[in-house]
Amino acid sequence: MAAAVPLAELFATPLVSLNRSRRDVIEISSTAELSDAFSTLAENSITSAPVKDAETGKYVGFIDVRDLTSFLVHFGAHIDEGNFMVADVCAAGAGSVLDNVTVSYLARRNPFKGVKADATIGDAVKLITTAKVKRVAVVNDDGQAEHIISLSDMILFFATHITAFPESFINATANAMFGKDVENVLCVKATQTVLEALTIMDDHKITGIAIIDDDSGAIVSNISGKDLRKFIKNPTYQQLHMPVVEMIKALRQASQVDIATPAIVVYPTTLVHMIVKKLAATKVHRVYIVESESHFAPIGVVTQTSIIKKVATFLPADDA
């Protein structure tokens, strides 16, 4: 754990220091076919990418793996048996879900917000909470994106420097800080189909949902943006209509990844600093608050965004 530093100094940290991968920013042209755009996300193991207008050279927004959910929902409700590629999904959806849908149309739903190279962590926190964006682009003097800072990057940074925050925050319990919010915990039963789960996610415009046991109501797994990214590589009729928990098991076994239930749950008494560290260590976008260690029924959810919103309350007065 890094030594504690004053909060003002923490928020003044250069934003570019959070870019751990240092790989080139992957961009998508506004003239790209939808199938090519989504395939680019899957092939590069990313959940989103900036879209640049081919004529103006300016960024339109971000194309996100969640944008394909609407197409999968429509596609699954109208296909017969068979194996289908991303191009098939896009071809079916483009003519029926939305008229003349394009990469640019979808990207405009996910705003591109750029900051200069001298932007700070505090600038990013303010932008995320006020503009309601999921990622911040660091651009050069020509407006070209050189770094994309995600919420996961931010969470890892704050987890590393968690001792900089007041004890009243980091030692508060999940129940005290986030409360019980059962009504807003979106769930799908383990035996419901993948298509039913995707429909709920599409209706609520989210990329993650808890999977619960049909009888006990205990959380047994979840669907994440990473799962969607893997799923779109080759969706089939059989997969769309199989029990959602079986599809998740198959996806994670194929990629040799196993996110066990304890990795995505916390308890009402779990302290905030432990929640932040769990989000950082597992790289999941949300953890669920469950009733107790003996009953895993979800009663609340803590997302990366909800953590950033709490962090924003500690911004210096002139930045808040």
For the stretch 132-182, pLDDT in tens is 899 999 999 999 999 999 999 999 999 999 999 999 999 999 999 987 655
Over residues 273-292, mean pLDDT? 93
DSSP string, 109-136: TS---EE-TT-BHHHHHHHHHHH--SEE
Entry pTM: 0.85
Residue 123 has pLDDT above 60, yes or no: yes
3-state secondary structure of 287: strand
The two beta strands, 135-139 and 114-115, are parallel
CB neighbour class for 19 (10 Å; exposed up to 12, middle 13-18, buried from 19): middle
DSSP string, 10-28: HHTSBGGGG--S-PPPP-E
- Domains defined for the chain, CATH in brackets: 7-163 (3.10.580.10), 165-312 (3.10.580.10)
Mean pLDDT of the chain: 85
What is the number of H-type helices and E-type strands within the chain? 15, 12
Q: Which residues sit opposite 303 in a β-bridge?
A: 286
3-state secondary structure of 318: coil
| Residue 170, number of CB atoms within 10 A of its CB | 18
Instruction: Give 62-91 pLDDT, tens digit per residue.
Output: 998 888 777 677 666 666 665 665 556 666
Could you give phi then psi for residue 213, rounded to 5 degrees?
-65, 135
Instruction: Give 217-231 pLDDT, tens digit per residue.
Output: 999 998 887 787 777
Per-residue confidence band for 97, with pLDDT thresholds at 50, 70 and 90: very low
> In 192-225, which positions are buried (b, 16+ CB within 10 angstroms) versus exposed (e)?
bbbbbbbbbbbeeebbbbbbbbeeeebbbbbbbb
The two beta strands, 209-212 and 219-223, are antiparallel
